[in-house]
Amino acid sequence: MTLQLFGHPFSSYTWKALIPLYANGTEFEFREYRPGNPDDHEYLRRVHPAGKFPVLVDGDTTVIESTAIIEYLAIHHPGGAPLIPADPDEAVTARMLDRIFDNYVMSSMQRVVNAYIQNMEAPNPAEIEAGKRGLQQAYRWIETWLGSNQLPPHVSLVSCAAAPSLFYADWVERIPGDYTRLAALRAELLALPAVSRCVEDARPYRDFFPPGAPDRD
Ligand SMILES: N[C@@H](CCC(=O)N[C@@H](CS)C(=O)NCC(=O)O)C(=O)O
């Protein structure tokens, strides 16, 4: 039975689940979330405690949470992309970085986006400030970490978490010019075929980015 991924092409966490599928050429069917559709809303409320996507369905198995989806794909639908490093210590590092990108890059970016979703005309300046400060702190930590450590080879769990979070975070708070390692990582990730496919498929939705999308990738 064909795998199904439920998500939306503009959603950062959907990219995180699409990247490993594309990188491994895994056959799957994309089920696109329709905002405001009561059936989709009811489905998500049923399968996820917070009604969030992506959701992966493989026969009788439903997997939620993007990191768990990648772990599941690495076990049940492996391919050429080394999603989880074989070496246990390298796997710990990959999982640590996955948490850094989700909890401090993606979440800080989403904090700014959510301030606009809550009030497009007058977003809460304290929320915007807190989100941007979170991004600056995360950028500094990653830039320093990259100075004395090596990332697992692409396409890994880290690539899957880093690509969408850095893509959208840079729109909200630009990576400072002197953070050359972090800027190079973002460019390197966007050049991966699996990631550039996500960027292209999301391009038609850019006008919907709540704080306003800049005129660049
Ligand atoms: N921790 C979740 C986060 C998923 C998430 O935040 N998804 C967003 C889309 S990028 C979502 O479902 N938003 C709709 C909502 O919150 O109602 C994961 O890793 O899958």
Task: Specify the ligand 1 atom closest to the Cα of 17.
Answer: 20
Residues making up the chain, counted from first to last = 217
DSSP secondary structure of 135-200:
HHHHHHHHHHHHHH--PPPSSSHHHHHHHHHHHHHHHHSPPPTT-HHHHHHHHHHHTSHHHHHHHH
Does this model's pTM top 0.95?
Answer: yes
Looking at residue 1, its pLDDT comes to 66
Tokens coding 162: 């880093």
Q: Does residue 129 contact residue 170 with C-beta atoms inside 8 Å? A: no
Looking at residue 2, its pLDDT comes to 87
Nearest CA to ligand 1 atom 13: 52
122-153: per-residue pLDDT in tens? 999 999 999 999 999 999 999 999 999 999 99
Q: Is 52 in the pocket of ligand 1 (CB under 6 A)?
A: yes
DSSP 60: T
Q: Is 65 in the pocket of ligand 1 (CB under 6 A)?
A: yes
Confidence of residue 6 (pLDDT cuts 50, 70, 90): very high
pLDDT at 4 over 90: yes
Closest CA to 192 of 170, 160, 216, 215: 160
Q: How far apart are CA 63 and CA 137, in angstroms?
A: 32
105-119: per-residue pLDDT in tens? 999 999 999 999 999
Confidence of residue 73 (pLDDT cuts 50, 70, 90): very high
Q: Is 66 in the pocket of ligand 1 (CB under 6 A)?
A: yes
Q: Is 53 in the pocket of ligand 1 (CB under 6 A)?
A: yes
pLDDT at 102 over 80: yes
Rounded to an integer, the average pLDDT of 2-12 is: 97
Task: Specify the ligand 1 atom closest to the Cα of 67.
Answer: 19
> How many other CB atoms are found less than 10 A from the CB of residue 125?
9
Tokens coding 41: 């809303």
Task: Specify the ligand 1 atom closest to the Cα of 11.
Answer: 10
Residue 129 Cα to ligand 1 midpoint, Å, equals 22
Across the chain, mean pLDDT equals 97
Residue 41 Cα to ligand 1 midpoint, Å, equals 13
